[in-house]
Amino acid sequence: MLHIFNLILPCVLINGISLLAFCVPSESGEKVTLGINTLLSLSVFLVLVKDNLPPTQQTPLISK
Contact 21, 38 (CB under 8 A): yes
Q: Is residue 30 part of a domain?
A: yes
pLDDT digits (tens, 9 = 90+) for 2-61: 778 888 899 999 999 999 889 998 888 899 999 999 999 999 998 988 888 888 888 778
Q: Is residue 61 part of a domain?
A: no
Q: Is residue 59 part of a domain?
A: no
Q: Is residue 58 part of a domain?
A: no
N residues, the chain? 64
Q: Looking at the 3D structure of the chain, how many domains does it have?
A: 1
What is the distance, to the nearest Å, from the Cα of residue 38 to the centroid of all Cα atoms in its chain? 7
Q: Which domain holds residue 5?
A: 1-52
The model scores a pTM over 0.85 = no
Q: How far apart are alpha carbons 28 and 7 in whole angstroms?
A: 32
Q: Is residue 28 part of a domain?
A: yes
Q: How many C-beta atoms lie closer than 10 Å to residue 35's C-beta? A: 14
Q: Is residue 64 part of a domain?
A: no
Q: Is residue 63 part of a domain?
A: no
